[in-house]
Structures are given as C-alpha cells and as structure tokens.
Structure 1
Amino acid sequence: MCVFVKHILVCVAWPYANGPLHLGHMAGCYLPPDIFARYHRLKGNKVLMVSGSDMHGTPITVTAQQEGKTPEEVAMHYHGINSKSIEDMGISFDLFSHTHTEEHFESARWILDTLRAL
C-alpha cells in the first residue's frame, strides 16, 4: 500500500498589532485555518501554519498617538498580548511572528527580487 503525504502551507491573515484580539479575530481569522491544519495533520500530512502581527500601518500610528507611545512600542506590546491570547486559545501555529524580524525582511526581499526577475 502506497501512502502519499501532502505538504500543506496554511498562510493566515496578519492583523495589525494595534489592540488586543477579539472574538471576531478568533472565530473569523484563526479558528477556521486551525481546524483545516489539524484535519490535515490527523490525516498524516505535513502542515506548516504561519501568521503574525502586521507591525506597520495607520491603525498602529493612531493608537500610538492616542497612547503617547511610539508605533514600535505599541506594536510590540500588542504582539505580545496577542501571541499569548493565541497560545491560550490553543491555536496550532507553527510560526507566529511579526513584520519587524530580520527573517521577514529577508523573505520579503527574496519574493520581490524573484518577482522582478520574471
């Protein structure tokens, strides 16, 4: 009997890190892909589920102005809170990162360079 293992990449939306996650994030953004990933893991497939916090954008700047902080301080603060919420909910990310990591910069650069070369 031949068993074929599929490799599945699940890329989940990256919400702004400008406030705590709410039920809509969990039910609409995180729970459906988590169910999908768990289903495929149970079937024996290799799954990589990734997401993170978007650390750029107007919503973060507005929150920073309201809280009297820098956008970076706000984004890092809420990324930490949101990472803990996701962990507490048992969402099965293989990687939950943010857009201010060196790996993110390198990956984005590689994608852009690859597309420009086409």
Structure 2
Amino acid sequence: MTELMNNTATTLDTAANDAVHALPWTDGALETVNTAVRMGEYGAARLRFLKLAEQSQIRVLQHIPQKEAIRLAGGLPPYTVARLFEQLPRPLGRAIIQALPEVKRQGVVVILNHRRSHAPRQQAMG
C-alpha cells in the first residue's frame, strides 16, 4: 500500500512538473537564457533574450535574481531597456535603470520621455 501511495505521489509530482514546463513562457529560449545567465555567459543570454517575445522577456527578468537581471539588461540596447522598463514592476525597473552607466541611463530616459510625450497623440490618432 505504501509503495502504491509513493508511486501515485511521484506520478502527480511529475505531472505537476510537466504542467509547469508546458506553460507558454517556459519555452526552450527561456531555459537557454536562464542557463546562460547561471553560467555567466551574458553575451549568449542577451542574444537569446532578444529573440524572445516581449512578455517572455519580462518574465525572464522577473524570475531570475535581480542582480542577474540588472547585469543582463545592462548589455541590452537602450530602446529595449526603455520598452521593458515600462512593463516591469517599478522596483525592478528602477534598479535596472539606476545600474546603467550614466550615458546609457540618460539615453534610456530620453527614450522614455519621448515615448510618454507621444503616446497620447498616437492614441488620439489611432
């Protein structure tokens, strides 16, 4: 009886684990980014990260340690950082922006200001 219960529990654990991996954002690219970040291969992680859909990029940044998210985002193009900043939780977005070198940070701020100043006009025109 105990063996039957253990086998059932193992089967349920496996099914739950498979269900988590079946979520749309847990695709191969996400795993590749996470693995590259854990191995310290930030260049490879960034290349794969840039191929992800925006929502997957956001989830990656939210699910890896903040220190790694900051390092990963620090090597991204300023426009990408600005676009992601608008979607990230404020504490993480601010931490990423504040960790950028001064010149890059200023570039991201300019992009954000431009996007904010043109957003109402685009919606009114749409």
Place the TM-score, normalised by the shorter chain, in its bin.
0.3 to 0.5
Report the structure, 1 or 2, having the larger helix content. Answer: 2
Higher RCO (C-alpha 8 Å, min separation 6): 1
What TM-score results when the alignment is normalised by the length of structure 2? 0.31
- Bigger Cα Rg: 2
